[in-house]
Amino acid sequence: MPDLPAHSELIDGSLVFVSPQTSFHSVILDLIGAALRRLAPSEYRVRRDMSVILGPRQRPEPDLTLIHDSADRGLDVTAYRAADVLLAVEVVSRDSEVRDRERKPQLYAAAGIPHFWRVEPNGRQATVYVYELDPATKAYALMGIHHDKLQLTVPFEIDIDLTEIERL
């Protein structure tokens, strides 16, 4: 959002100012972001820390988003519409646990974002919780919990070695 501190989010009509990220947060986003850029079909783009407009009182900023290339309307874009987003990824930190585990997934699901990943630190490793939208209930269903390797066929073939975080 223009004229606000970096990484400000609008959640339920209130401004949320996000704490500085940890090294884990930064490194896991680098790992997942690079892998998605390498593996995603050409009609998708990976974006980091971009707002998603879900409604007049909701403008969260997922850590990573996978958007349709048609939504990439130039370098001055500051937000995407929910309809532009195929996947939202949130990395949980101590300060964001409730937002990232509960509220933001509810908002993303209600807005129709088909896929959501929640990434949690687990010692020096990452655990990725993979969710898929049930279109009938507009709620996410847990599809899997991944520790060392993130292997999926939906939304496309994905194979990420999560243990690489130790080498970054």
How confident is the model at residue 6, as a pLDDT? Answer: 66
Torsion from C-alpha of 132, 89, 65, 164, nearest 10 degrees = -110
Its pTM stands at: 0.91
Query: Residue 39 in contact with residue 157, Cβ under 8 Å?
Result: yes
Cα gap 32→88, rounded to integer Å: 12
Q: How confident is the model at residue 119 (pLDDT cuts 50, 70, 90)?
A: very high
Query: Residue 10 in contact with residue 57, Cβ under 8 Å?
Result: yes
Which residues lie below 8 Å from residue 163, measured CB to CB, with a gap of 6+? Answer: 125, 148, 149
How confident is the model at residue 73, as a pLDDT? Answer: 87
**Domains with residue ranges and CATH for the chain:** 8-167 (3.90.1570.10)
**Model pLDDT for residues 24-63, shown as the tens digit of each residue:** 999 999 999 999 999 999 999 999 999 999 999 999 999 9
**Model pLDDT for residues 59-102, shown as the tens digit of each residue:** 999 999 999 999 988 889 999 999 999 999 999 998 889 999 99
